[in-house]
Amino acid sequence: MTDSTRGLRKASILSGLADDEIEQVLHLGRFITFKTGETIMREGEQSDTMYLFLSGDVDVTKNLTLKIAGRGFGHAEKSMTRLKAGTAPVFGEMCMLEDEPRSATITAASDCVLFEIRRASFDQLCAANPALGLVLVRRIASMLGSRVRKGNDDVLKLSTALSIALSR
């Protein structure tokens, strides 16, 4: 097993794959590093890359429209969450499944090591090895499903809190 293969094993989305399958993934992309403070992806930009998150921390922000006292409405970046490599195996994965702009800005909160995969390379892997492609797509779909469930729970909590606040 090469050092690169061992490096990719850090991505939980690849857990349980055989060494030869990890090697196939290794040929899809490249390792890339970002220094603290560098923007990895920007909300609204078009892109065709996802990143396996191997080490570091990132901040996820979204552009929000806010009411500014006495001045009407304005825009601000709102921090949504901080992700750690061990807890978030992938980001940018939605572009593997759809051709839509980025949904958030991700900035390196510490030095980060990522593995970048382009959609065309991912599609080639899925065509060449459908069984491996299916495993990866199912894992991506499972992560997206978990995020939707969490988002639904968050909306319910916020709606409940707003309802209580407005009823006073």
Region 14-31: mean pLDDT is: 91
Compare 162 and 136 and report the one with higher pLDDT. 136
Percent of the chain with pLDDT over 70: 90
Region 68-84: mean pLDDT is: 74
pLDDT band at 133 (very low <50, low <70, confident <90, very high): very high
At residue 56, the 3 state secondary structure works out as: coil
In the DSSP assignment, the letter for residue 29 is E
Average pLDDT along the chain = 87
DSSP-based helix, strand, coil % in the chain, nearest 5: 40, 30, 25
Residue 1: pLDDT over 70? no
Q: Where are the domains of the chain?
A: 3-166
Predicted TM-score of the model (pTM): 0.81
Cβ-contact 75, 64 below 8 angstroms: yes
Residue 81: pLDDT over 90? no
Does CATH number 2.30.42.10 belong to domain 3-166? no
Compare 75 and 95 and report the one with higher pLDDT. 95
At residue 146, the 3 state secondary structure works out as: helix
pLDDT at 3: 63
pLDDT at 5: 66
Residue positions counted in the chain: 168
Helix and strand tally (H, E) in the chain?
4, 8
pLDDT at 78: 72
